[in-house]
């Protein structure tokens, strides 16, 4: 747990003496291409994330985007996609992935298709009866935009240098609040664990100067807006990315990746909308600005960029012990089929990236960061699928929303940590210390 509020920035020099792994060759040029496409729906849609919300959207507060960052080094490719959406639930991940594979011949370990988990974006679905025909049309539209974004990014590959820095963000807070009777409810628990790291990867043209784009990683749900809100919005994360891009006069892409935030909500949460009366600053905008300002501070302090960062990636699907939703434990004799969990690991020089298709709780993400062989580790949740909450074992006895609704049995989180570290160590070219 990182409790310091002091901005700390560490710099990595990507030198030519990095060890060459069996998977990559650090002597080749790292190239990068970016794209940002508008994915705001042009018709009313059902909004995702709150089961109780049945009404259609009534307007647009801020526009939604898909941001694509593509890398290439020799024969290696890696495509990172940040989508202003809740996540690829209800079979929509394979629907997207199949189209991406067919179009680009991309291997499963070469793509991290993630969502920022805003609860004010269209529900993705292939089932018009369960949701709404407009949502099915939107899902088809989004698939086309993602393909177009990847094509644009991959056709714009140019050599880049990499810099990295870290800060500390205050937009999120642990949400597992204990009531006097001992029950855990969704609320605010400032003394609960939270990974406050704001991790920023920045890319620029060789020789310095023009920024080519940035990726940032912070752990919070994008739920400052609640189920009463009917306006389309990227919530605080989408607003932060928009601000970062506007500050760069739109010349660069700021792609957000949401960290282990299964039990983290924005400090102001589930509000009914954007209140502006009498000069009030809407909380969602305030929190988005707070996050964007911290990313900008981290960026300003990155004063060293290096070439020759090794690009590599791998993926693995685990079969983890499952449990019935609505329970905390697996009863004796109960036979529950295993639950797949997809891990997507990558490295860009001394930065590790670990994508997980789940809502990962703080301590599971921190265990991966703390055990990682890389100097910096991005934890990318809602990535390459959507499997529900992945809690640490010790929280099962406390219960609460994330535990009750999790499809995973106690202990699954710890297996995921061990397997994730195995992948990261393999990418780092060293033996796992686990």
Contact positions vs Zn ion (CB under 5 A):
359
**Nearest approach, Cβ of residue 221 and Zn ion (Å):** 5
Q: Are 200 and 302 in contact (CB under 8 A)?
A: yes
Place of tokens 């004796």: 332
| Nearer Cβ to Zn ion (32/360) | 360
**Nearest approach, Cβ of residue 325 and Zn ion (Å):** 14
| Nearer Cβ to Zn ion (39/361) | 361
Q: How far is CA 364 from CA 58, 177, 413, in A?
A: 38, 19, 6
Q: How far is CA 114 from CA 70, 86, 266, 324, 346, in A?
A: 14, 9, 19, 26, 14
Q: Where are the beta strands (DSSP E) in 57-207?
A: 59-60, 65-73, 76-83, 111-115, 158-159, 161-168, 172-174, 176-178, 184-186, 197-204
**Nearest approach, Cβ of residue 117 and Zn ion (Å):** 6
| Nearer Cβ to Zn ion (72/359) | 359
- Three-state DSSP state, 327: coil
**Nearest approach, Cβ of residue 159 and Zn ion (Å):** 38
| Nearer Cβ to Zn ion (265/419) | 265
| Nearer Cβ to Zn ion (165/391) | 391
**Nearest approach, Cβ of residue 194 and Zn ion (Å):** 15
| Nearer Cβ to Zn ion (36/117) | 117
Q: What residues pair up with 115 in beta bridges, in sequence order?
A: 83
Pairing verdict, β 197-204 and 211-218:
antiparallel
Q: What residues pair up with 203 in beta bridges, in sequence order?
A: 162, 213
Q: Which residues of 53-80 are buried (b: 16+ CB within 10 A; e: fewer)?
A: beeebeeebbebbbbbbbbbbeebbbbb
**Nearest approach, Cβ of residue 261 and Zn ion (Å):** 8
Quick one: DSSP state of residue 41?
-
Quick one: DSSP state of residue 48?
S
**Nearest approach, Cβ of residue 147 and Zn ion (Å):** 26
| Nearer Cβ to Zn ion (109/265) | 265
**Nearest approach, Cβ of residue 382 and Zn ion (Å):** 8
Q: Which residue is nearest to Zn ion (CB)?
A: 359
- What CA–CA distance (Å, rounded) separates 284 from 222? 9
| Nearer Cβ to Zn ion (235/285) | 235
């Amino acid at each position: 747990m990182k409790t310091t509020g002091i901005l700390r920035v560490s710099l990595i020099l990507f030198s030519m003496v990095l060890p060459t792994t069996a998977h990559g060759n650090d002597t080749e040029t790292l190239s990068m291409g970016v794209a940002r496409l508008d994915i705001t729906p042009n018709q009313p849609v059902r909004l995702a994330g709150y089961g109780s919300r049945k009404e259609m959207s009534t307007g647009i507060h801020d526009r939604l985007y898909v941001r694509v960052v593509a890398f290439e080094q020799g024969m290696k490719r890696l495509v990172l996609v940040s989508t202003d959406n809740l996540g690829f639930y209800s079979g929509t991940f394979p629907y997207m992935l199949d189209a991406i594979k067919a179009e680009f011949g991309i291997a499963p370990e070469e793509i991290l298709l993630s969502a920022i988990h805003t609860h004010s974006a269209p529900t993705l679905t292939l089932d018009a009866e369960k949701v709404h025909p407009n949502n099915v049309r939107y899902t088809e539209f989004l698939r086309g935009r993602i393909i177009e974004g990847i094509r644009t990014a991959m056709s714009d590959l140019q050599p880049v240098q990499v810099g990295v820095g870290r800060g500390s963000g205050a937009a999120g807070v642990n949400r597992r609040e204990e009531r006097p009777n001992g029950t855990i409810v969704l609320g605010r628990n400032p003394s609960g664990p939270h990974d406050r790291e704001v991790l920023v990867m920045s890319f620029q043209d060789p020789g310095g100067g023009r920024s080519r784009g940035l990726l940032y990683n912070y752990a919070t749900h994008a739920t400052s807006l609640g189920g009463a809100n009917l306006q389309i919005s990227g919530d605080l994360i989408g607003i932060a990315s928009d601000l970062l891009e506007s500050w760069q006069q739109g010349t660069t892409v700021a792609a957000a990746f949401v960290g282990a935030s299964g039990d983290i909500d924005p400090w102001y949460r589930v509000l009914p909308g954007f209140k502006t009366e009498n000069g009030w600053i809407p909380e969602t905008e305030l929190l988005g600005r707070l996050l964007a300002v911290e990313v900008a501070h981290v960026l300003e302090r990155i004063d060293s960029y290096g070439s020759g960062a090794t690009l590599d990636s791998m993926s693995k699907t685990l079969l983890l012990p499952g449990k019935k939703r609505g329970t905390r434990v697996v009863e004796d004799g109960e036979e529950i089929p295993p639950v797949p969990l997809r891990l997507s690991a990558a490295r860009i020089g001394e930065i590790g990236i670990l994508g997980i298709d789940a809502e990962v709780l703080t301590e599971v993400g921190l265990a991966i960061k703390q055990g990682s062989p890389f100097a910096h580790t991005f934890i990318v949740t809602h990535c390459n699928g959507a499997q529900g909450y992945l809690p640490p074992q010790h929280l099962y006895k406390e219960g609460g929303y994330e535990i009750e609704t999790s499809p995973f049995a106690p202990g699954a989180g710890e297996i995921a940590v061990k397997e994730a570290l195995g992948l990261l160590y393999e990418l780092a070219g060293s033996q796992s210390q686990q």
